[in-house]
Each structure stands twice: as structure tokens, then as C-alpha cells.
Amino acid sequence: MTDLDDLAAEKYVLLTTYRRDGRAVPTPVWAVRDGDALAVWTVADSGKVKRIRRNPTVTVAPCDVRGRPHGPAVKGQAALCGPTETRRIRSLLKQKYRLLGRLTLLGSRLRRGDQGTVGVRVTLG
């Protein structure tokens, strides 16, 4: 199995973005395979989105719900998705996370609307 396969099989991954001063900011997130990349979903005005806009270099590692890593980190490049790609990522998350995914995505859509969240594709390597 490749790093992408291993990470996509995890329930949570630790997405680490970097501040201007170089400090790492790790965040546990849901992740799903999206073709040749790993995809995550987050609030559109979150700190991680702002950091990715400034610096797309990230690392991704398998972790538990509290963000404790249990495997090696892999370097990658993150890219923010447009509305169509974000919809596809939401659909993939619903398939992987089943009922919990559907409820979480529904709650988010009710609170923030469709424009309140954004997909992020991470190309490993």
C-alpha cells in the first residue's frame, strides 16, 4: 500500500499547516481519497485555510480523534477547492463516514450554508 492508501484508510489524519513564522499548527481532520490526492473538508474562514493560502506546504499523518499521531508524517502540497470540487469531496466524505458524516455535513450546511465550507486537496510527495 502507498502512503496515500494508508492515510485514506484512516478515520482521522493530522493536517499540519504552517504560520508565517514557521510554527507548525496541527489539526485532526477527516480525510478521504480523491483520485491521486487526499481530500479534507473544513470551514472556509478557518485558520488552516488562511495558512494554506499563504503557504501550501503541509504534512499529513495518521492520528486519533485528539490529534495524537500514530504513524509517520508525509509532506504534501495543499490546494483549496472550488464549489464543484468541494461538493464532490462532501459526497466522498458521506460515503466514507456514513451516518455520522451525513449528519455532520447536514449540520454544517444548516449553520454555514454551502459556501461556509471548502474542500482541500493534498497531493503527497
pLDDT tens profile 45-99: 999 999 999 999 999 999 999 999 999 999 999 999 999 999 999 999 999 999 9
Beta carbons of 18 and 25 less than 8 angstroms apart: yes
**What is the set of domains in the chain, with CATH numbers?**
3-124 (2.30.110.10)
Task: Name the grid cell of 27.
Answer: 489539526
Band of residue 21 on the pLDDT scale cut at 50, 70, 90: very high
pTM (predicted TM-score): 0.93
pLDDT at 107 (0 to 100) = 92
Give the CA angle between residues 114, 41, 20 to the nearest 5°.
Answer: 110
Q: What is the mean pLDDT of the chain?
A: 96
**pLDDT exceeds 80 at position 1:** no
Band of residue 105 on the pLDDT scale cut at 50, 70, 90: confident
87 phi and psi angles, rounded to 5 deg: -60, -40
